Structure 1
């Protein structure tokens, strides 16, 4: 591409270290027409260009200035775009004809000015007039029409939108989604609910409306799966049914009609079987009750006895002579002595009518044959003061050590002593009223048996 000196000098860059240093009076601007050669001095205005140029002193000075200018070291006008060329100004024109960064018209005449360094890519990929084939249908297009064709080519393979993993040509994609895709939605032909196609087989295995045959091959050919249970129970004529008393031991099996006849003819047998079942169940209930009672037994040697409805029980004790309340039995250890406490709310013996009396009894236990007799553990009774401030509570405690000569502490017979041993004047009725021994109509008494103490406290 031909350029004039004035076009070059507009974008020239002179390296500061090699720029010509000439006196200001010697510097003269030299204008060159676009068609003139950089080495040919311009003709005087109005002169015929065919006449030989007259070289005078002033012209000689201009030639020297031009020579100095043309020998100056410059960078390429495209150095900011990446061109590394740098040389004398007179060589710039030749360099621009080959500079890869200098824009030239597209050789396909698409009208674009393309830097030489990008020309190859332009002709191959972006030129609107390039000739190219579609990678999918192999048809030839110009660059402009290829861009329009891309994205619409019927032969381009695309992934199915249902995410089934298949790649299908665009022209067949609609047909694939409707009739071939494993992830398409289809309706079950039996219940009309929609399912993904590849799960339809699993649905059919449990679909309530799926037709199944009677497993006993009766006259009913097929029926919906959800109706099969009712069919076998109420309608199937070949299904063998067990007797309704099979859990009681009856082993009869037959069809519906023979079962009805069996039930009518076997009433006495069924009654006998049921009586045997009831007897077994009664034994089981007794055994379970015994096991539960053992689990609920107290083996700690300490009983916290809660006496509720105190007011009603005290009123009853005052009108009913000798009314005794007995506690749940408890043991000194898992294989120890079996004991039980009793209370007379209106008193007993010397405390009758004025005090609460309390006693302890030794009951016949399962391991009495292995225990030491007479009974010698210390026993203490505590009535708890239920005042709100625990530090101000004043509990009443009475205790004793059994006298080995007393009959009460010998090994009990199957008919234990009816009274036991204790304190007939444990707590006076007046003291009960003064303190908070009864709260919310409830009284708490602790009975503690301690084998380690030999002194009553």
Structure 2
């Protein structure tokens, strides 16, 4: 069921929504409105989820007294409802920016292209402005409010952002005029002030004894007088400096000794750690060797077990077959002898009880007894034929079963089997079982050659089935491995058709089976008959279907999963 979307894609704010315009499934406005037989509306996207967990027909979600069960094919488009829904009034999405307009939903896109309240980004975004304003306020923001709007420097005529122009003109611009901060000379350009500072007579100079602690600073002449006249002060500072230097030297010597002692201790610990590391390395190497030997022994024992299992299976099969064949041959000989005797007796003329011919005397009760024996042997022979057929079928299943999570299914007589599906004689076919491992999940495939549900009469439907296995109690549930369904290209091998899905843990299809098999899950529209029925996929009236299981992250069977 495929329709082009007739409803606008966005989700606006409606002025008012009547209950008759809402979807009975999602309770929102019905998108691409569809109608049920009982007159309720629902969204086109809400149809598929209704039929995923339940078989047709499903109960109407409205649950009213006059509701009727819903069939997928009975859900039809509702053009009248779609027209009414597109006429519903909606608010402009720019309502938060000041637009109070309401328009029919179908005209919203046209209004949006013209709305003066539409939010736009500031053109100065590349300069750093992240403001979004209404279209009718953009001009005022760009010219008066934006801190990133370009402004030209009054002095050097270069462009800067509005937030940087003040600092540039006051502190950085080389063409801006300023005065000397020491002598007040000027005005002069900032690029010229450095040359003046080098020769400025009022520029402060530091005392030469600053290195020992003198903080005096003044003009060059005053500093010279200070150095000549304050010698006593400088001697006091020098004495204090020398004393402090001696104390600092003693502290440094003590710190060096402490560091040396700590270094020697670290060296000793390092040597101990080296010895311990060497010992651990030798132990690790010994463990690696032991582990490798254990793995080799385990592999050898595993191979022996597998070979013994195979020999045991082959021996059991051969013994059963040989016994059945021997019994069949013996019964065939017995039946043939009895038939010959019975034929001979029936051809002789009946001369009464005790009559004889060629020295043979047969009474009627003996003849009836022989007939009963012949009938009994016929039944036994028929039962053996049935048992042989069942055993043959079981052996065929065992021979074709795979234990690596891959099923390759060959379906013969496609044309006849599809015709049987069309007439209702055999709607679906099951494949032989396959397994994720020898003690893993048991699964099979199910195919509807004439389609099922949505694909009936137009497609081949292909499904994956989880079956009840012997080791389910040891496996994690629900089943969560990814599954790939595939139809093989028999012509070039390059155009395989496939579909992959991840199981839904909430679906009953993937819980631990309580019956022989769970509900099938897969693709009702796997491949159309027009694509399938070509030489690419059918050859000699045979198709090949392949199922693959993603075995990554699959834990081994574990008793803790019970």
Task: Say whether the fold is shared (TM-score over 0.5).
Answer: no
TM-score relative to the length of structure 2? 0.30
Structure in which a larger fraction of residues adopt helix = 2
Structure in which a larger fraction of residues adopt strand = 1
Of the two, which has the highest radius of gyration? 1
Q: Answer 1 or 2: higher relative contact order, Cα 8 Å, separation at least 6.
A: 1
